[in-house]
Structure formats: C-alpha cells, structure tokens
C-alpha cells in the first residue's frame, strides 16, 4: 500500500500519481481515405489560425464555400494511393515510433502518441495519461524544424487542454532538433545507407522541405533558416563531393507566394538542364506521409521522368529506421533527465 492510499478515506476516489510520460505528436491525417473523412480533417486543419493567417471573416467563407467543396475529393484520391492495411502512413509510423520508444525507455515511462488534427487527439491522450498517473509529461512535437504552423500549434493545443484540467501535469517541450548533432548524424547515416542501396548513382540530391508562405519568413518564423541549416549540416556530414545538393520547398497551397525554389519547378528545371539521375530526401518530415509518398514519390517521379530524367528515387524519412530511433531515444532521454 502506498503512502497516499494509507491517507485516503474509504470514499475517496483512487489516486494514481508519480508517473512520467512522453507524448509524441505529429500533424494529423484523416481517419479514412474518403471524401467525408478528408473534409472533416481539412476543415479542422485549415481553420487553425496558425496555419492560415487570414482573418476568419475573409477566410472561413472561402474555406467553407470553395476549398472544402473541391479539395477533399482530390485529396482523398491521393490518400487512396498511399493508404495501408493498417491505416494512414503518418498515423501508422507515429504509432510504431511510440511503440519503439516504449520498448527502449522501459516501463518507468509511459509513451503515447497523438495527432494535432483528427485522431487520436491531444486532449484524449493527455487525459488517458493523467488517469494512468502521469504527473510529468515530455511533449515531443515531431518536427525537426520549428514553425508557427506546426510546433507552436501543438503547444497551443496542449495549453488549451491544460486550461480545462483541475489537476495538471508538469510539462516539458522537446525543442526543435534541426541542427542537433544526433539528428544530423541520423540523417547522414540513413541517407547514405539508402543512396548506397540504389542501383544507380544520383548526380543530384534534392533536399525537399514542406513549404510555408514566404510572408512567414519576414514575420520572423525561423522555419526557413532552420531548413537551410539542416541542409548545410547534412551536406557537410555526408561529405560526398560528387553529389550536388539542392534545397527546395514542396506542397504549395493557395495563391500566396511560398518559399522558393519550389520542388516541382526544380525537378522540371533539372530534367530540362540534362540531369539524368536524381534522388530526393525529405529531412523536414519525421515520418512518411501523403506529402512524401504521393506528392514526391509518385508525382515528383512523373515530373522528372516526363521532363527527360532517367533515374529517380524518393528516399524514406527516418521513420522507424535504426538511425531514426537511436536519435529519438537520445533526444527523449535528454528531456527526461532528472525526471526518471
Ligand atoms: C513538416 C512540416 C509542415 C509544415 C511546415 C506544413 C505547413 C503547411 N501545410 C499546409 C497545408 C496542407 N498540408 C497538408 C498535409 C501535410 N502537411 C504536413 C506537414 C507540414 N505542413 C504533413 C506531414 C502533411 C501530411 C498529412 C498526411 O495525412 O499524410 C495538407 C493536406 C493534404 C492535401 O490536401 O494536400 C494541406 C492542405 C499549409 C497551408 C501550411 C503552412 C502554413
Ligand atoms: Fe502541410
Ligand atoms: Fe533563412
């Protein structure tokens, strides 16, 4: 019997406490690859003021009347191309990462996972962790580079959830790890492993990051600079003088100017300029998802080959590779220090 149980009167609700938890959070994904599910997901995602920084009075009518009536059908067709028997790749890989961290960190830490949009939600998983006795929780936004549209909105959602709790856990947030030596080492190792396994030798390695409106850079978002720094450190660490590294930004959304150069334009230009063998790595994504598996591995390949390229490879994200899990364990153990 614990000290707390001895002190409790018989009618007192059970008290579980003293536990330590880790919550991995990634962006979110629909529950199914159909139009209705994608519409629900996009409605939540694109209503986040951190993601679309246009006043509601102007944006909501456009979102409801135009975007949610056209994009979900198109996006659902894209999701169908990459969906697996276990579900959406992003959710499946994030769950596998959490399971692997549970095995590596042991029973003294409870490892869980959530999605910022859709399910499993942050409020639901935080509640479950509290009920299981987690009084201290490391929040791990699974984004190497910080942006308001990704990292910050995860922290906002946790804050909203804590606001409604009588008994709150203590929280620590894992910082962005774009330039962390453990991250660069993992990327360099895993990228080299994948390049060496190809049956051709690429002339160019495109490092393609998810884009953002260019305006966010001028407003002070560090995302662009952190992407550039990851690229520079990765190129230095890989030390392949015969390989030309090019940094680009993908997944343009809406009419505003986005960060450049754009990945699709660059694939066209490289092919037109005579590059025959090209590989793409996506060091801004901790897990493969629609944007890597469909937009780059399928659409990107078509763009490059139709433009005159001959060999194309889209490399996997760190996912549950040995290098990726070693890195995640290092980062989490650092954040957990002093807690267990
Ligand atoms: C890795 C970092 C990401 C940033 C930065 C980011 C910014 C951003 N995204 C949109 C719009 C869309 N993104 C979509 C999918 C998507 N985005 C990320 C990551 C970042 N987004 C991931 C991991 C995914 C994949 C989700 C999955 O289910 O696999 C989509 C939905 C798909 C589609 O319809 O094309 C949209 C829309 C904006 C506007 C934005 C920056 C402000
Ligand atoms: Fe996105
Ligand atoms: Fe920059």
Give the DSSP letter string of 119-183: SSBHHHHHHHHHHTTEEEEEEEE--SS--IIIIIHHHHHHHHHHHT-SSPPEEEEPPP-TT-HHH
Exposure string for 86-120, b = 16+ CB within 10 A, e = fewer: eebbbbbbbbbbbebbbeebeeebbbbbbbbbbeb
Cβ contact 225:145 at 8 Å: no
Give pLDDT tens digits for 69-99.
Answer: 999 999 999 999 999 999 999 999 999 999 9
Whole-model pTM above 0.80? yes
User: Residue 340: which pLDDT band, with cuts at 50, 70 and 90?
Assistant: confident
**For residue 169, what are the contacts with CB-CB under 8 A and spacing of at least 6?**
21, 126, 129, 130, 134, 135, 136, 137, 162
Residue 11 has pLDDT above 90, yes or no: no
User: Residue 273: which pLDDT band, with cuts at 50, 70 and 90?
Assistant: very high
- CATH 3.40.50.1400 residue ranges in the chain? 18-176+325-336, 181-314
Calculate mean pLDDT across residues 261-281: 98
Q: Which atom of ligand 1 is closest in space to residue 82's alpha carbon?
A: 29
Instruction: Give, for 207, the enclosing helix (H) or strand (E).
Output: strand 204-210
Q: Does the CB atom of residue 41 touch ligand 1 within 6 A?
A: no
What's the CATH code, domain 181-314? 3.40.50.1400
**For residue 82, what are the contacts with CB-CB under 8 A and spacing of at least 6?**
89, 290, 293, 294
Kindly list the distances between the CA atom of residue 93 and the CA atoms of 98, 146, 183, 211, in Å, as whole numbers in the listed order.
9, 21, 18, 22
User: Residue 3: which pLDDT band, with cuts at 50, 70 and 90?
Assistant: very low
C-alpha to C-alpha distance for 222 and 113, rounded to whole angstroms: 26
Residue 1 has pLDDT above 50, yes or no: no
The pLDDT of residue 17 is 84
Give pLDDT tens digits for 40-72.
Answer: 999 999 999 999 999 999 999 999 999 999 999
Q: Does the CB atom of residue 144 touch ligand 1 within 6 A?
A: no
C-alpha to C-alpha distance for 246 and 283, rounded to whole angstroms: 12
Q: Does the CB atom of residue 88 touch ligand 1 within 6 A?
A: yes
Ligand 3 ion: nearby residues, β-carbon < 5 Å: 224-225
User: How many angstroms separate the most distant Cα atoms in the chain?
Assistant: 79
* Cα 230 to ligand 2 centre (Å): 19
- Supply 56's token pair: 């509601």
- Supply 305's token pair: 């080959």
The pLDDT of residue 12 is 85
Is residue 312 helix, strand or coil? strand
Residue 14 has pLDDT above 80, yes or no: no
Give pLDDT tens digits for 285-338.
Answer: 999 999 999 999 999 999 999 999 999 999 999 999 999 999 999 999 999 999
Percentage of the chain with pLDDT > 90? 94
Architecture of domain 18-176+325-336: 3-Layer(aba) Sandwich (3.40)
- Alpha helical stretches, state H, 164-278: 181-196, 214-218, 223-238, 263-272
* Cα 251 to ligand 2 centre (Å): 7
C-alpha to C-alpha distance for 94 and 111, rounded to whole angstroms: 11
Cβ contact 264:303 at 8 Å: yes
Q: Does the CB atom of residue 318 touch ligand 1 within 6 A?
A: no
- Supply 289's token pair: 């998802």
C-alpha to C-alpha distance for 94 and 24, rounded to whole angstroms: 8
To test the pocket of ligand 1, the residue of 24, 25, 26, 27 to mutate (highest count of ligand atoms within 8 Å of its CB) is 27
When comparing pLDDT for 3 and 41, which is higher?
41
Asked if the bond preceding 271 is cis, omega within 30° of 0, the reply is no
* Cα 51 to ligand 1 centre (Å): 9
Q: Does the CB atom of residue 295 touch ligand 1 within 6 A?
A: no
- Is 86 annotated to bind a ligand? Reply is no
Q: Does the CB atom of residue 294 touch ligand 1 within 6 A?
A: no
Which of 83, 101, 66 minimizes the C-alpha distance to 29?
83
Give pLDDT tens digits for 113-151.
Answer: 999 999 999 999 999 999 999 999 999 999 999 999 999
C-alpha to C-alpha distance for 141 and 139, rounded to whole angstroms: 6
Residue 2 has pLDDT above 50, yes or no: no
* Interface ipTM: 0.96
Q: Which atom of ligand 1 is closest in space to residue 253's alpha carbon?
A: 39
């Amino acid at each position: 019997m614990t000290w707390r149980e001895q002190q409790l009167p018989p009618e007192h609700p059970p008290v579980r406490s003293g536990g330590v938890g880790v919550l991995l959070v990634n962006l979110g994904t629909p529950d199914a690859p159909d139009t209705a599910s994608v519409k629900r997901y996009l409605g939540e995602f694109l209503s986040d003021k951190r993601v679309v920084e246009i006043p509601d009075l102007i944006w909501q009518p456009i979102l409801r009347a135009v975007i949610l009536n056209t994009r979900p059908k198109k996006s659902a067709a894209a999701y169908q191309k990459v969906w697996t028997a276990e579900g959406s790749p992003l959710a499946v890989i994030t769950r596998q990462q959490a399971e692997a961290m549970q095995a590596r960190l042991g029973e003294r830490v409870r490892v869980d996972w959530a999605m910022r949009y859709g399910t499993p939600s942050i409020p639901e998983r935080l509640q479950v962790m509290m009920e299981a006795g987690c009084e201290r929780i490391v929040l791990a936004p699974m984004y190497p580079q910080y942006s308001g549209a990704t990292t910050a909105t995860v922290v906002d959602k946790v804050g909203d959830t804590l606001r409604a709790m009588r008994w709150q856990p203590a929280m620590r947030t894992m910082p962005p790890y774009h330039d962390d030596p453990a991250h660069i080492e993992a990327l360099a190792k895993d990228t080299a492993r994948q390049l060496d396994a190809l049956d051709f030798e690429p002339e160019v390695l495109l490092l393609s990051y998810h884009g953002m409106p260019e305006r966010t850079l001028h407003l002070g978002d560090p995302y662009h600079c952190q992407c550039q720094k990851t690229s520079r450190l990765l190129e230095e660490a890989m030390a392949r003088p015969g390989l030309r590294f090019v940094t680009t930004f993908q997944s343009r959304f809406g009419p505003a100017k986005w960060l450049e150069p754009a990945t699709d334009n660059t694939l066209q230009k490289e092919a037109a300029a005579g590059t025959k063998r090209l590989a793409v790595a996506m060091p801004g994504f901790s897990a493969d998802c629609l944007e890597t598996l469909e937009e780059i591995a399928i659409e990107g390949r078509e763009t490059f080959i139709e433009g005159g390229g001959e060999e194309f490879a889209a490399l996997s994200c760190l996912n549950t590779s040995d290098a990726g899990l070693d890195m995640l364990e290092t980062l989490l153990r650092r954040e957990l220090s002093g807690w267990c």
